[in-house]
Amino acid sequence: VSDPSYAVWAFLGLVTVVLLIGSRRAPGSSPARPFVVLQRLATGPFLRVALVLAWGWVGWHLFAR
């Protein structure tokens, strides 16, 4: 088992949690809340296509292949 690899993943997970907590401080705070980010992605003319493709690919990759 590679400890440095898992340590980096754990660090990235920790940063994710910190951002999630930070986004809940106040409405309109920075960083934006996850659903605000999702809304921005889902309303971009090109980003929304990439979002749907990415969602489908993740599901297929993880559960079907």
Partner 1 sequence: MAAPEPAADGDGGRQRLSVWLPVAGAVAYALVAANARAFTEPANVLTALPILALVVLVVVRWPLRPRPAAPPPDVRHPYLAWVILFVAIVAWELAEYAARGSRADHPTLSSMADAADRYYLLKALFIFLWLYLGGAIVRRGRQARAPAPAQTPGESP
**Which residues bind to partner 1, rule: CB under 8 A?**
1-2, 5-6, 8-9, 12, 15-16, 19, 22, 27-32, 34-45, 48, 51-52, 55-56, 58-65
Q: Smallest distance, Å, CB 49 to partner 1? A: 9
The radius of gyration of the chain from alpha carbons, rounded to an integer in Å, stands at 15
Q: Smallest distance, Å, CB 46 to partner 1? A: 10
Q: Smallest distance, Å, CB 55 to partner 1? A: 6
Asked if 16 and 27 count as a contact pair (C-beta separation under 8 A), the reply is no
